[in-house]
Amino acid sequence: MPPSVDGGLARSELRPRRGRSGPQTARTVRPNMAAEAAARSPKRPTQGSRRFEAAGRWALLALVTLLSFATRFHRLEEPQHVCWDETHFGKMGSYYINRTFFFDVHPPLGKMLIGLAGYLSGYDGTFLFQKPGDKYEHHNYMGMRGFCAFLGSSLVPLAYLTVLELSGSLPAALLTAALLTFDTGCLTLSQYILLDPILMFFIMAAMLSMVKYKSCADRPFSAPWWFWLSLTGINLAGALGVKFVGLFIILQVGCNTISDLWYLFGDLSLSMVAIGKHLAARILCLIVLPLALYTAIYAVHFMVLNKSGPGDGFFSSAFQSRLSGNSLHNASIPEHLAYGSVITVKNLRTAIGYLHSHRHLYPEGVGARQQQITTYLHKDYNNLWIIKKHNTNSDPLDPSFPVEFVRHGDIIRLEHKETSRNLHSHYHEAPLTRKHYQVTGYGINGTGDSNDFWRIEVVNKKFGNRIKVLRSRIRLIHLVTGCVLGSSGKVLPKWGWEQLEVTCTPYLKETLNSIWNVEDHINPKLPNISLDVLQPSFPEILLESHMVMIWGNNGLKPKDNEFTSKPWHWPINYQGLRFSGINDTDFRVYLLGNPVVWWLNLLSIALYLLLGSIIAVAVQRGAHLPVEVEGLSQVLLQGGGQLLLGWVLHYFPFFLMGRILYFHHYFPAMLFSSMLTGILWDTLLRLCAWSLASYSLARGVHVAGILSLLLGAAYSFYLFHPLAYGMVGPLAQDPQSPMAGLRWLESWDF
């Protein structure tokens, strides 16, 4: 069997082709060979024209890069106030500058880079980022916006180079670059302090690196091959380090890697040792290297954020003991719980928080109208409780009373220190979790009834019958009803200050929701011990932080007046997202994709599925294709298929997610659909041109088609650019508004 163009044996069986005399060997076409065939015209290019084309590639790259940066940095300073999620990510950048610990549902790399950009540009971390609309005034915010704009601008040249590598076609790459440059949505996301441009940069960089190292397949283990393979792993770590959405590009690289290894496994010219080397190289660069970098990101994160902050309550007591300024850091507290101690009680399930009460009552119609009991994620004086015997109101802190320790099986009362009401339960239904009992604060100055009595049990009694602070895992069982105190983790409505529901469950399963530990412990009668021994190891805090992030991601709920959306809305550009302003006197910014670009992308996906299916069936049936058409078909099926896979992996998983979703979640998928559009329309126009007899006419059809698409994208950008750069004046519903005629869908509310 003759060797294939990849340097190994031919991959397909001998099969007869129609219109040929006898069996022929099916050819394997490398991406660069396919590109040459796609670029081939009825007149073979000369050596000089090839040099001119190579120069043209670099000239066009410089042009599209310059245009991308110009559009993204234009009016970057406006508006001079906080817009949308700058509230969160600008504030988190400030936390890094101040080294204050916080909690977020995303991995830390994006916020770390934002904080670094602010620090290097002279921002001092003192702006509060309290709410959208707050004026920046004298604070230097441009470094953080500029950093995000830089990465957002880089998406265009990255997409250009990726399409050029996949197709070998300058027009396809140029069309892709134009679609992204003139998309108002990509422009808007790039101009603010957000994670999206950072995430998309690493996704596109990983895609380009993967395509580059695959193009070096005929030179395995060469310097360029190692460089691009390693860079792929680095960018995968970057994407995952910004958001967990980075898992989708990891999945795409993984699919390609498995495919490559399967191909190599079937190449009989390669020894098993050579195949083992290929496998080891990919494990090293695409698994070990990304994991090492991802872990290093967290090591830096924990090292920088070493001061107590608003995120403490999401984490365990042991985790908090490592934070400077936390009450548990280098603390000394009594080891064993005694009657009369003032304590905080923390749920062991991550991100549930502390047993909490306040002076507000449950509203009418929600069980008994008694004082609310919740869990609260932050340190607060309303988390303090006094532990007392169930059958006496005497003060155990009276010097005349001997110290009496709390033991496993004791009947106790917990009196809320601030309001003097007892922890109480009864047969009324819980506010949100049906079949569970309501938990309230009841009584006056510690005096209540028998429904205030709880039996304290140590779940793990390896420390003995005494209750140890921080270490003993305890349950509180209601004496009258037999139910167990726990937290459902459900967020209460506004009347409950959006804190978490506490219930008493009659189902006695030992879940983390119903297991607690004593954290803070104040008792002047008892000797103190140091808590340094509690500080966890790095693997322990790494694991805990991921558990908290996953729980937080799944529990995300929409805020008031937020425009949430569903995945089917996104490709059709059904509804945008307001970044700033609601009135005709406000500076208004509205996130909406350029409708011409987005609807062209949607049409292109449908056409690709149709045309790709026709070509695949024709090839499978042995249809004879001219050399030029065969090359174009290979580009469409291989290059376009790679981009379609990227679109599918970055879009369809959102249909399976239970968390709240927003329009901006679609933009990584939009990058892939735009690149697919560039390759598809260039291929379609080349096929149309190939069918014409005249070379000049064929070239004219191709150039006219590409130029029409470029001008259409540019003109639609001219129409819709006020959405991205900001507008003041009449709303679109007003006939006097310059945007009035551009409200093509009723769901657009700009």
Q: For residues 309-332, give the mean pLDDT.
A: 83
> Angle at which helices 109-120 and 142-167 pack, to 10 degrees?
120
pLDDT band at 562 (very low <50, low <70, confident <90, very high): low
DSSP assignment letter at 284:
I
In 3-state terms, what secondary structure has residue 351?
A: coil
pLDDT band at 507 (very low <50, low <70, confident <90, very high): confident
Q: Does position 368 have pLDDT exceeding 80, yes or no?
A: yes
Between 5 and 139, where is the model more confident?
139
pLDDT tens-place string over residues 142-151: 999 999 999 9
pLDDT band at 367 (very low <50, low <70, confident <90, very high): confident
Instruction: Give the torsion sign (CA, 229, 234, 235, 240).
Output: positive
Domains of the chain are 14-40+70-297+567-742 (no CATH), 329-554 (2.80.10.50)
pLDDT tens-place string over residues 30-40: 444 344 444 44
pLDDT at residue 27 in the model: 37
Q: Are 341 and 523 in contact (CB under 8 A)?
A: yes
User: Which region among 171-185, 246-260, 316-330 has the lowest average model confidence (pLDDT)?
Assistant: 316-330
- HEC string of 128-156 equals CCCCCCCECCCCCCHHHHHHHHHHHHHHH
Q: Tell me the pairing of strands 385-389 and 411-416.
A: antiparallel
Q: For residues 725-748, give the mean pLDDT.
A: 80
C-alpha span between 282 and 199 (Å, rounded): 23
pLDDT at residue 558 in the model: 58
C-alpha span between 670 and 186 (Å, rounded): 9
C-alpha span between 18 and 53 (Å, rounded): 36
pLDDT band at 571 (very low <50, low <70, confident <90, very high): very high
pLDDT at residue 466 in the model: 87
Residue 101 CB burial class (10 angstroms; 0-12, 13-18, ≥19)? buried
Q: Are 173 and 678 in contact (CB under 8 A)?
A: yes
pLDDT at residue 559 in the model: 56
pLDDT at residue 622 in the model: 80
Q: 571-584: string of b/e by CB count within 10 Å (b at 16+)? A: bebebbbbbbbeee
pLDDT at residue 48 in the model: 61
pLDDT tens-place string over residues 79-121: 999 998 999 999 999 999 999 999 999 999 999 999 999 999 9
C-alpha span between 324 and 308 (Å, rounded): 6
pLDDT at residue 35 in the model: 43
pLDDT at residue 28 in the model: 39
pLDDT at residue 3 in the model: 35
Q: Are 383 and 356 in contact (CB under 8 A)?
A: yes
pLDDT tens-place string over residues 69-90: 999 999 999 999 999 899 999 9
User: Which region among 51-60, 147-156, 183-192 has the lowest average model confidence (pLDDT)?
Assistant: 51-60
Q: Which two tokens stand for residue 625?
A: 């294709």
pLDDT at residue 621 in the model: 81
Q: Which two tokens stand for residue 286?
A: 């695409």
> Angle at which helices 47-73 and 170-181 pack, to 10 degrees?
0
User: Which region among 35-49, 304-318, 700-714 has the lowest average model confidence (pLDDT)?
Assistant: 35-49
pLDDT at residue 725 in the model: 94
Please choose, from the candidates 326, 312, 311, 426, the residue with its C-alpha nearest in 3D space to the C-alpha of residue 373: 426
Q: Does position 9 have pLDDT exceeding 50, yes or no?
A: no
Between 632 and 567, where is the model more confident?
567
How many other β-carbons are positioned within 10 Å of the β-carbon of residue 17?
A: 14
pLDDT at residue 735 in the model: 73
pLDDT at residue 635 in the model: 87
Q: Does position 20 have pLDDT exceeding 70, yes or no?
A: no
Q: For residues 422-431, give the mean pLDDT.
A: 95
Q: Does position 361 have pLDDT exceeding 50, yes or no?
A: yes
pLDDT at residue 603 in the model: 96
pLDDT tens-place string over residues 639-661: 999 999 999 999 999 998 877 88
Q: For residues 650-674, give the mean pLDDT.
A: 92
Q: What share of the chain in percent tops pLDDT 70?
A: 89
